[in-house]
Structure 1
Amino acid sequence: MSSVLYDQYKQLLHKIADVKYASAVLQWDQETYLPPKGNDKRGQQIATLSELAHEQFTSEHTENLLQQLVLQEMPANEKRNVELSLEDYNKSRKLPATFVRKMSEAVNRSFHAWIQARKENSFAVFEKPLNDIIELKKQEADLLGFAAHPYDALMNDYDKGLTVKKVDGLFGSLKPQLSSLLQDIATKEQVDDSFLFQHFDKQAQWDFGIEILKKMQFDFEAGRQDLSEHPFTTSFNNHDVRLTTRVDENDFSNMLWSCIHEGGHGLYEQGLPENEYGLPLGEYCSLSIHESQSRLWENCIGRGIAFWEHNYPSLQKVFPQQLSNITLQQFYKAINKVQPSLIRTEADELTYHFHVMIRYEIEKGLIEGSILTRDIPAVWNELYKQYLGVEVPDDRRGCLQDVHWSHGSFGYFATYSIGSLYAAQLYAAIAGQNPSLEKEVAAGDNGTIVNWLKQHIYRHGRYYLSDELCRLATGQTLDAGAFISYATKKYSLIYDTGKR
């Protein structure tokens, strides 16, 4: 009986996944190739598909099937799929289909307003559509319910169990340790990275980025890379994973580490269990774990000396005029330069956390009502001055730089910092279990890393919560000390701070 019901359950979720991923294809196209005049109808199409998928999943038929299945005896993985689907169902039932459609339509308007606002360098163009999103997110928090803070309901979407109390505590302990490390670095001679801001041909950068992704073992038979206003990764199944990046011909770092970052996301998506398509165990654990994958590759590996021992000679051949007289050590120090800056995606891995904290504080204030939408530029600029000591010159390089709010992704940003903490802990575990890892990476062999991640992260899907998965992989739950230890060791050598 249970096997028949489980087959029915799989067929139902496969159909729902087909609708969701069809919508995702349209969204990917919207951010890459859609002609401007197609905006309105595309928004309507995405809204219709979102509404259909929601209606299918929250139907009485789905509820009856899940209620029957949850009482059946079945293998552990099947049982876990059903439990998670019932949990998702109960949560989704709190959001009416009309609300889901309304949110989708608002997101479409907001995204295109954000694009236009960036072109005009004016937050005013984005303010009204963004305010509509914020009001809907407040409604969503109320519909979903929360115990302590409305923002908890939104963060829970990205990492189950994440709360304001937890994040406030985490950031509260991380901030002074980071500040101390940054103060030590500030007393030392600054690294010269001026050679990274010469002219680097767009196509040559692109081609080199593709080669790096291949060396990371991203499968281009099961994915591709394109250009977009803001780098992102999306997946329609583990054999169709899309990355995007952007290129600045006068800033070498802009594209390459976006490629590596998104490549980390892409490897995770390609590594999820193929036979669990459309089911919870075929989905990623959480956004915090997803971000751990991108940050692990971007920073622990992609900004590591071993990685460039292998790849730097090739890069010098691509750009001989710009780099032939720059040593490996000079390049390594330059790509790890620590300096407060304006743009989150281009920030070094230490000051990066302050970029995240700023967005977290603003989002929390917007959802609780202590910050109004119209006040975002002023609050943003003040926090950048307070946290990073930089003056924000305009909206494009300030509060318009991230795409997330236009997507309605409130509650996401904290996972970037948490992901960085997980990344350092995961990398320490990989290195601890594989003493020859650095030599392998220096020889161009990233196989040990990919295979370890497949075994300890990818294959589990959503079976475990973030902290449980971390404990299974590393022996303990999240410990920010791993990141502080990693960062102190790395930057004490780059800046000769005397700390180890």
Structure 2
Amino acid sequence: MSQLTKTETLYEQYVQELQQIADIRYAVALLQWDQETYMPSSGADFRSRQIATLSELAHSMFTAAPFGNLIETLQQRNDLSPDQQSNINLSRYDFEQQVKLPSAFVRSISETTSKAYHAWIDARKANDFKVFSPRLEELVSLKKQEAELLGYSGHPYNALLNQFERACTTDILDAAFQQLVPPLQQLLQKISQCRQVDDHLLKQYYPEGDQWQFGMELLQRMGFDLNAGRQDRSEHPFTINFNSKDVRITTRVDEQDISNMTWSTIHELGHAFYEQGLPSEQYGLPLGEYASLGIHESQSRLWENNVGRSKAWTRNFLPVLQHYFPNQMDKVSEDHFYKAINLVKPSLIRTEADELTYHFHVIIRYELEKALIGGSLAVHDIPEYWASQYEKYLGITVPDDRSGCLQDVHWSHGSFGYFPTYSMGSLYAAQFFAAANIAIPGLERQIEQGEFTQLLDWLRKNIHMHGRRYTSEELCRNISGEGINSRYFMQYVTNKYRFIYAFQMEEVAL
């Protein structure tokens, strides 16, 4: 057998084993999707067991010594293609991380997470954090153990951050927020002195069935491939995929607020575009996976805000809304609608926040998680801490747990270290959209005409098709010539909101 043939055979074995592991992990994802959409509540305990069993099995297969040896053997060869070498290098990194976690620990955290989700649902229904807190305490304890098992430098929270945004640390985030917050607060202060825009047109009665039909047409018009995806309802909107040809999103409908469904649908559409754009030939391999959660969030925020809250999008979609809701929208002007969907006002709910105050919702959660994992905050103190931070950053009073510390699903998923990627995503989105405007002549006009193909193709070429080949910062440098820079975001929002609120302010220089 020739050396090349041997390498090909070994690589084929690696691909086969990794794709089998992916099959199991995506089966878990399917169970989780069903758990959050259609599963009857009485099935929760058995579903937790099923998810835990499969999660443990996938982890055991991936961290098995023979598979580690196979990766090591392939990594030492010099006749792999660039794509093959990238997959092997990334799998070696993943293996070294995962082998630190015992299979029994993976099962424990998976089972606890599944049970915590249902406790969170019950707590939201009861509007009582104490219903959720025992499960959350278990999860926080497990996450602290996980940080110790993975190892870290500096703050223990770094070990959890690294799982969502590789090489990200509290030092990096602290510096980024310190750069972002002062000019953002200055802009918000300027807006607070202006006459508030009127968004009452969004707060009328919009029947659920009509909203749903509008949402489905919205997805189709913006380019979602419904032959490779679907939309359903859930308590908290999310996107999940089982391969690039089966990507599912969820939304929620508030009959008293059309904006809730509309922009959560566009947000999840951005995530779905990314998943549908990943190379299907790399199924189960690192190059078939997204780069990071910060990059993933950049896609959702770009479509939700840079596109979906633009004047060009308004011109295209207001007539569609007027078709579905003539009584509510018939006499609404483009200018009125554009200003209404961009109202800036401190609010309680992160997913409904405007794109300026949104960052403070993220900062509150980031600082809270850092304190929990660092041990300076106890779980039972979360409601009080939450209320104090919302008063500090946003100047508003938290009336209850449902609209306060129970509003997000992430902790019930065990996703500690996730929230900071939301702000990073918004910053990347502004930077990427600025580059797209240079690369695509007449982009604004295309959006105004309902043509989104060139923008989606540009994102596919520059981001989606690369999978995990590059880190977030490498991707950002490839696209814009520099690393993440919050000044792109500040330039975008300053130019946008000085028109909406009619005030004078110097343009932000890059």
TM-score, with normalisation over the residues of structure 1? 0.99
**Aligned-partner Cα distance in 1 for 2:455–2:208:** 30
**Aligned-partner Cα distance in 1 for 2:448–2:488:** 23
1:47 aligned partner:
52
**Aligned-partner Cα distance in 2 for 1:78–1:414:** 32
Q: Is residue 2:112 matched to residue 1:128? A: no
**Aligned-partner Cα distance in 1 for 2:81–2:486:** 36
Q: Is residue 2:318 matched to residue 1:296? A: no
1:451 aligned partner:
457
1:333 aligned partner:
339
Q: Is residue 2:443 matched to residue 1:434? A: no
Give the alignment of 1:369-408 within 5 angstroms.
Answer: 369-408=375-414
1:172 aligned partner:
178
Q: Name the stretch that deviates more: 314-323 or 400-409.
A: 314-323
Query: Per the alignment, in what secondary structure is the counterpart of residue 88 of structure 2?
Result: helix
**Aligned-partner Cα distance in 1 for 2:134–2:241:** 30
Q: Is residue 2:222 matched to residue 1:216? A: yes
Query: Per the alignment, in what secondary structure is the counterpart of residue 397 of structure 1?
Result: coil
Paired residue type of 1:10: V
Paired residue type of 1:83: N
Give the alignment of 1:254-269 within 5 angstroms.
Answer: 254-269=260-275
Instruction: Determine which of 63, 66, 75 is the counterpart of 2:71.
Output: 66
**Aligned-partner Cα distance in 2 for 1:87–1:297:** 32
Deviation at 1:435, TM superposition (A): 2.7
Query: Per the alignment, in what secondary structure is the counterpart of residue 8 of structure 1?
Result: helix
**Aligned-partner Cα distance in 2 for 1:329–1:318:** 19
**Aligned-partner Cα distance in 2 for 1:288–1:36:** 33
Query: Per the alignment, in what secondary structure is the counterpart of residue 243 of structure 1?
Result: strand
**Aligned-partner Cα distance in 2 for 1:498–1:319:** 36
Deviation at 1:353, TM superposition (A): 0.2
1:497 aligned partner:
503
**Aligned-partner Cα distance in 2 for 1:217–1:471:** 27
Paired residue type of 2:359: H
**Aligned-partner Cα distance in 2 for 1:127–1:314:** 44
1:21 aligned partner:
26
Deviation at 1:326, TM superposition (A): 1.2
The alignment of Structure 1 onto Structure 2 pairs a total of residues equal to 500
Query: Per the alignment, in what secondary structure is the counterpart of residue 385 of structure 1?
Result: helix
Query: Per the alignment, in what secondary structure is the counterpart of residue 163 of structure 2?
Result: coil
**Aligned-partner Cα distance in 1 for 2:188–2:328:** 30
Paired residue type of 1:32: T
**Aligned-partner Cα distance in 2 for 1:6–1:213:** 39
TM-score, with normalisation over the residues of structure 2? 0.98
1:317 aligned partner:
323
Q: Name the stretch that deviates more: 210-219 or 273-282.
A: 210-219
Deviation at 1:310, TM superposition (A): 1.1
**Aligned-partner Cα distance in 1 for 2:93–2:221:** 39
Paired residue type of 1:243: I
Deviation at 1:207, TM superposition (A): 1.1
**Aligned-partner Cα distance in 1 for 2:249–2:103:** 30
2:213 aligned partner:
207
1:189 aligned partner:
195
Q: Is residue 2:251 matched to residue 1:248? A: no
Give the alignment of 1:117-156 within 5 angstroms.
Answer: 117-156=123-162
Q: Name the stretch that deviates more: 427-436 or 331-340.
A: 427-436
1:232 aligned partner:
238
**Aligned-partner Cα distance in 1 for 2:274–2:465:** 9
Alpha-carbon contact 2:440-2:455 (below 8 Å) kept: no
Instruction: Determine which of 90, 111, 117 is the counterpart of 1:111.
Output: 117
Query: Per the alignment, in what secondary structure is the counterpart of residue 30 of structure 2?
Result: helix
Unpaired segments ≥5 residues, structure 2:
1-5
**Aligned-partner Cα distance in 1 for 2:457–2:120:** 39
2:3 aligned partner:
none
Deviation at 1:474, TM superposition (A): 1.7
Query: Per the alignment, in what secondary structure is the counterpart of residue 139 of structure 1?
Result: helix
Query: Per the alignment, in what secondary structure is the counterpart of residue 306 of structure 2?
Result: helix
Deviation at 1:447, TM superposition (A): 1.0
2:99 aligned partner:
93
**Aligned-partner Cα distance in 2 for 1:410–1:2:** 39
- Structure 1 runs, 4 residues or longer, greater than 3 Å off: none
Instruction: Determine which of 420, 425, 429 is the counterpart of 1:423.
Output: 429
1:362 aligned partner:
368
Deviation at 1:317, TM superposition (A): 1.3
2:286 aligned partner:
280
**Aligned-partner Cα distance in 2 for 1:186–1:228:** 34
Instruction: Determine which of 330, 353, 356 is the counterpart of 1:350.
Output: 356
